[in-house]
Structure 1
C-alpha cells in the first residue's frame, strides 16, 4: 500500500485557511486540470442534470426546514446555482479536486489524490471545487487553465456544491460554519 507521505510536496491549501502556495502553483493546478479535461473520456458517466437539480432542491428544503440556514441565504444561493444547471459538454473530470487533494512542491503539481469521483462530467465544476473558499486564486487557476470561463457558472457551482454538502458535512462531524468554509462561501454570494 502506498502511503500518502510518499507523495512529494504539500497540499495546495486547506478550506478555511489562507493558502501559502504561490500564484504559480495555483496556475499549475489550473494547467493540470486542463490536461485532465483534454484527456479522452472515461467510459463511465457522472451526474445527470436532472439528478443534480433534484438533489439541490432536496438539500435546500432540508436546510430551511431544519433551520440550518436562513431562508434568504438558501434562496439567493439556489438562484446563483441555476447558472450551473445547464447542459455541458462532458470532459474527464476529477470530481473532487479540493485543495487538500492537490499536492505541490514549489510551483509544480506533484500529484492529485482521491479519484473516487472521477467520471465524465463538468469542467467548470472541477475549477469551482479547486477554488472553493479561495476566490482570490481563481484568476491564477484560470491563467493556468488557459481558456475563457463563464465566471457566473463558477459562482453557480460554488453555491450548488456548498448547498449540497452542508448536510453531509454536519452528519459526518465536520463544521461547514467554520470561517472560510461552505457557509461563508454562501454568504459571499449574497
Structure 2
C-alpha cells in the first residue's frame, strides 16, 4: 500500500501525493479554474490533469526533480537554468490569457499595507523595510502584459538533466509583468540569474528584477508567518531583504 505524503498544507489549500498522483485540495475553486485553464493554454510542459472533483484536482507527477528549493543552493546545472529561462520566454510569447492580473495600483496598495503590518508588529527593523520599499518602487511602473505564471518559484520548475520537464502550480497565472516571473524564479538564487536571462534570450532590466525581489519578499513575510513558515530561514525572504539593503 502506497503512503500518503503531505507536500504542503495550510488553511487555504493542501497538496498530497499518493504514488505518482498529486491531489490538490483548494478552498477556493476559482483558483483551480485558473490552474486548469492556464495549463491548457501554456505552451510549455505542465502536469497531466487526471480528474477533477471539487474541491480535489488530481494531477500526474512530473518526471525529474525541482530546479531547486528556496533556502538551499541549487544543484542543477547551468544548462538547466538556461533551459528554464527559455521555457519562461516561450510562456511570455504565448497569447494572453483572457483574465486580467493585478494592476500597479493594486500592487502599490498591497505593498504599503504589508509594510505597515511589518512595522506595526515589529517584525522587521524600520530601516530595513523602508530601504526595501524604496528599492521596490522601480517595479511599480507600467509594463506590456504577457502570459505570466505569477508564482514561478524555483521548486515549481521540474528538470531532468538539462531539460525542463514541466512547471507546477498555475493557480495565480494571469496577465502580468515578464520580469516578475524572472525575479520569482531567481529569488534567493541570484547566482543563476545570468543563466536564466541568457536562456530567456533578450535584454532585461536587472534593476527591475532586483526591485521585484524586494517587493515579493516584503509581500511574502506576513503570509509565511501566518501560515506557519519561517521567512527568516537562510537564503529566504528576510535574507533577501538584508542582502538588498546592503547592495543598494
Distance 1:24 1:179 in 2: 25
- Residue number in structure 1 paired with 2:82: 27
TM-superposed CA distance for 1:3, in Å, is 1.6
* CA deviation string 1:101-137 (max 9, x = no partner): 0000000000000000111111000000000000000
TM-score normalised to structure 1 length: 0.98
Listed as ranges, the gaps of 5+ residues in structure 2 are: 1-17, 23-59
Aligned residue pairs total: 190
- Matched with 2:155 is 100
Moved more, 3-12 or 72-81: 3-12
Higher relative contact order, structure no. (Cα contacts within 8 Å, ≥ 6 residues apart): 1
The 5 Å alignment of 1:166-181 reads 166-181=221-236
- CA offsets, 1:48-86, max 9 Å, x none? 100000000000011011100000000000000001000
Long gaps (5+) in structure 1: none
CA–CA separation in structure 2 for the residues paired with 1:82 and 1:149: 17
Corresponding residue number in structure 2 for 1:3:
21
Out of 57, 60, 79, the position equivalent to 2:134 is 79
- Structure 1: how far apart are the matches of 2:21 and 2:200? 29
Q: Distance in 1 between matches of 2:71 and 2:163?
A: 23
Picking from 174, 178, 183, the partner of 1:123 is 178
In the alignment, the residues of structure 2 paired with residue 188 and residue 44 of structure 1 have an alpha-carbon distance, to the nearest angstrom, of: 35
Q: RMSD of aligned C-alpha atoms?
A: 1.1
1:89 equivalent to 2:144? Answer yes
Provide the rounded CA distance (Å) in 2 between the counterparts of 1:32 and 1:83.
25
List 4+ stretches of structure 1 deviating above 4 A.
none
Secondary structure of 2:134 counterpart: helix
Aligned partners of 1:59 and 1:38: how far apart in 2? Answer: 32
Q: Which has the higher helix share?
A: 1
